[in-house]
Structure formats: structure tokens, C-alpha cells
Amino acid sequence: MTDLTLYLDLLSQPCRSVYIFAKANNIPFNNHQVRLFKGEHLSEEFGKVNPFRKVPSLKDGDFTMAESTAILLYLANKYKTPDHWYPADLQKRARVDEYLAWQHTNTRPHGSKLFWIKVMTPLILGYEAEPEKLEPVVTEFNNTLTALEEQFLRGKPFVAGDEISIADLVAIVEIMQPVACGIEAFENKPNLAAWKKRVEDAIGAELFKEAHENVLRVKEMQNMPLPPELKERLKGRLLQFLR
């Protein structure tokens, strides 16, 4: 029995990156599901693990931590995963760190915002988002994809070089969130599509499919009943995106 527990909901991009990384590296862990759309992250019990009440979270014995990129690095270091995930070579590692720093204000929020406006508007407000709200967000996301393709992947099969790294894993799950709600991310982008295929092959097609199975059925969420307290919280956040 392992002391390591990961608190996850695979509808969340950061949770999927942690889940895939642990599975791909045969790291033993207890998978404690925290269902966001049932408000389980707001419980007092989960608050003892992560006072910010966000997933993913990690509990390793008496040690707890939050933030997906920090969790990924903790797992890579503790379990001494193959070097390509977080290379010892200073400049290759710097490329991983560079993307992980960049994505916090680019791939992650732009993909998330698109997901919220496309999927959460009908779920919470009961109607589709107006085109004038959606189109600028789609443009912003596409500009981010162009930056990933032309800057981080320029002349390389993966972000850090010839092999997959944590940076590629974080990038792919962030891109798949808008893809799940019908946004075309890889069409007419052959280099990015080829990179996606390399990432899937490196991870394993079955694991990639397993991790994304729920989010790829995201349209089913539109009729999902939400706890009233959670719905009000989500409505407040959604309205910020729609301003």
C-alpha cells in the first residue's frame, strides 16, 4: 500500500497531466477522486489537504502540496523518472522551465477561458455564448498555438529537444480542453498535429485516451445539475470571463 495519494478530477487539465505522468512512469498512487461538479473540492475534509480547495493535490505521508507543475517536479525527483522528463542537461531543463513559466499566462488561461465561455455558459446561464464574446477568445487561443508551434517547437520534435518532457505533457492537456468542446486546434497546423501524434505515441495511445475520456464527452455536462452553492460560485467566475 502506497502512502502517495493524488486528489484528481480528470475534467481538469492540470489533473490530467499529473495522472498521465504518474501512470506513464509506473508511480504507485491512490487515486482519490474529487468531483468538481459535485462541489467535493469545497468540503471540509478536502480543505485539510489543500486549503486553496483546488485540484490536483498531493498527499505523501504527512506531506501535502498543491500546484500541478510543482507536483510533477516533485514526482520526477522523488521517483527518479527517466531523464527526458526533466533533463539534467542545464539548457534542456531551462527549455522545460521556460515553457512551464510561460504557460501560466498563455496556454493555460487562454485554453481555460475558451472552455468556460464555450461550455460553462450554457451549463450555468442556459444559453450559448454570443459570437462577439467567443470569437476574440478563439483568436487569442490560436495565437497561443502559433507561439507554441513557432517558438517552443521550432526545429524540434519536442519542447526540450528529441524526447518528450514535462513541458510537452502540460502543453498537450491544456490544448485538449478547448478541443473537447469543438475548437479546431490541430487542423491546418501540420507541425502541431505531428507534435501531438509524437506526444501520444510517447505517452501511449491507451493512456492518452483514458485520461481524456471524460473531457471528450464534455457536451454531456450541459444538462448536469449543479449544487446551488457551487453554481453561484461558478456563475461569478464565468461572468468575469464574459465582461
- Residue-wise pLDDT for 156-198, tens only, equals 999 999 999 999 999 999 999 899 888 889 998 999 999 999 9
Q: What is the pLDDT of residue 221?
A: 66
- Confidence band, pLDDT 50/70/90 cuts, at residue 236: confident
Looking at residues 137-162, what average pLDDT do you find?
A: 96
Q: Is 119 exposed, middle or buried (0-12, 13-18, 19+ CB in 10 A)?
A: buried
What is the Cα–Cα distance from 117 to 182, expressed in whole angstroms?
12
The chain-wide mean pLDDT, for the chain, equals 92
Q: What is the pLDDT of residue 222?
A: 63
Domains and CATH numbers, the chain: 4-81 (3.40.30.10), 90-241 (1.20.1050.10)
What is the Cα–Cα distance from 1 to 13, expressed in whole angstroms?
27
Closest residue by Cα to residue 234 from 22, 30, 36: 36
**Which run of H or E residues covers position 17?**
helix 13-24
Looking at residues 1-16, what average pLDDT do you find?
A: 94
Q: What is the pLDDT of residue 223?
A: 66
Q: What is the pLDDT of residue 180?
A: 84
Q: What is the pLDDT of residue 110?
A: 94
Q: What is the pLDDT of residue 48?
A: 94
Q: Which residue has the higher pLDDT, 119 or 222?
A: 119
Q: Which residue has the higher pLDDT, 232 or 185?
A: 185
Closest residue by Cα to residue 172 from 197, 155, 151: 197
What predicted TM-score, i.e. pTM, was given to this entire model? 0.93
- Confidence band, pLDDT 50/70/90 cuts, at residue 241: confident
Which residue(s) pair with 4 in the sheet? 60
Q: Which residue has the higher pLDDT, 235 or 172?
A: 172
- The three-class DSSP label of residue 29 is coil
